[in-house]
Amino acid sequence: MRLVSTDAGPARPPTIRTVAARAGVSKSLVSLVLQNSPRVSEQRRAAVLAAMAELGYRPDPAARSLAERRTRTVGVVLDDLTNPWYVDLLAGLRPVLHDHGLRPLLADGATEPDAVAALADLRVDGIVVVGTPADSSIEQVVGLGDAVPVVVAGTRESRLTVADVVANDDDAGARLATAHLLEHGHRRIAHIVGEGEVGRLRRDGHIATMRAAGVTEHCVDGDWTEATGHRLARELLDRDDRPTAILAANDLCAVGVLAAADELGLAVPGEVSVVGYDDTVFARLPRLSLTSVDSHIAEVGQAAGEALAARLAGDDPGAPTTRLITPALVVRGSTGPAR
Partner DNA sequence: ATCCAGTATTGGAACGGTCCAGGCGATCCG
Partner DNA sequence: CGGATCGCCTGGACCGTTCCAATACTGGAT
CB of 180 to a copy of itself, least distance (A): 22
Q: Tell me phi and psi for residue 166, to 5 degrees.
A: -130, 125
Per CB under 7 A, does 54 bind DNA?
Answer: no
CB of 2 to DNA, least distance (A): 18
CB of 287 to a copy of itself, least distance (A): 5
Task: Return the sign of the alpha-carbon dihedral for residues 316, 318, 320, 323.
Answer: negative
Determine how many CB atoms are found less than 10 A away from the CB of residue 226: 19
Per CB under 7 A, does 53 bind DNA?
Answer: no
* CA angle, residues 86, 91, 94, in degrees to nearest 5: 110
* The amino acid at 57: Y
Choosing among DNA, a copy of itself, none, which partner's interface includes residue 53 (Cβ < 5 to 8 Å by kind)? none
Among 4, 9, 12, 315, binds DNA (CB under 7 A): 12
- Encoded one letter per residue, x for contact with a copy of itself by CB under 8 A and - for no contact, window 269-298 reads ------------xx--xxxx----------
128/255 with CB nearer a copy of itself: 255
Among 40, 49, 87, 142, binds a copy of itself (CB under 8 A): 87
Choosing among DNA, a copy of itself, none, which partner's interface includes residue 103 (Cβ < 5 to 8 Å by kind)? a copy of itself
Choosing among DNA, a copy of itself, none, which partner's interface includes residue 258 (Cβ < 5 to 8 Å by kind)? a copy of itself
58/239 with CB nearer a copy of itself: 58
Tell me which stretch binds DNA (CB under 7 A): 22-30, 109-117, 251-259, 319-327.
22-30
**Alpha carbon 213 to chain centroid distance?**
34
Per CB under 7 A, does 64 bind DNA?
Answer: yes
Tell me how far apart the alpha carbons of residues 77 and 109 are, in angstroms, rounded to a whole number.
6
Tell me which stretch binds a copy of itself (CB under 8 A): 19-27, 37-45, 84-92, 316-324.
84-92
61/185 with CB nearer a copy of itself: 61
User: Which residues are near DNA by CB under 7 A?
Assistant: 12-13, 15-17, 25-29, 31-32, 34-35, 38-41, 43-44, 57-60, 63-64, 66-69
Q: Can you give the binding site for a copy of itself, defined by CB under 8 A?
A: 10, 58, 60-63, 65-66, 71, 81-82, 84, 87-88, 90-91, 94, 103-106, 108, 120-123, 147, 255, 258-259, 262, 281-282, 285-288
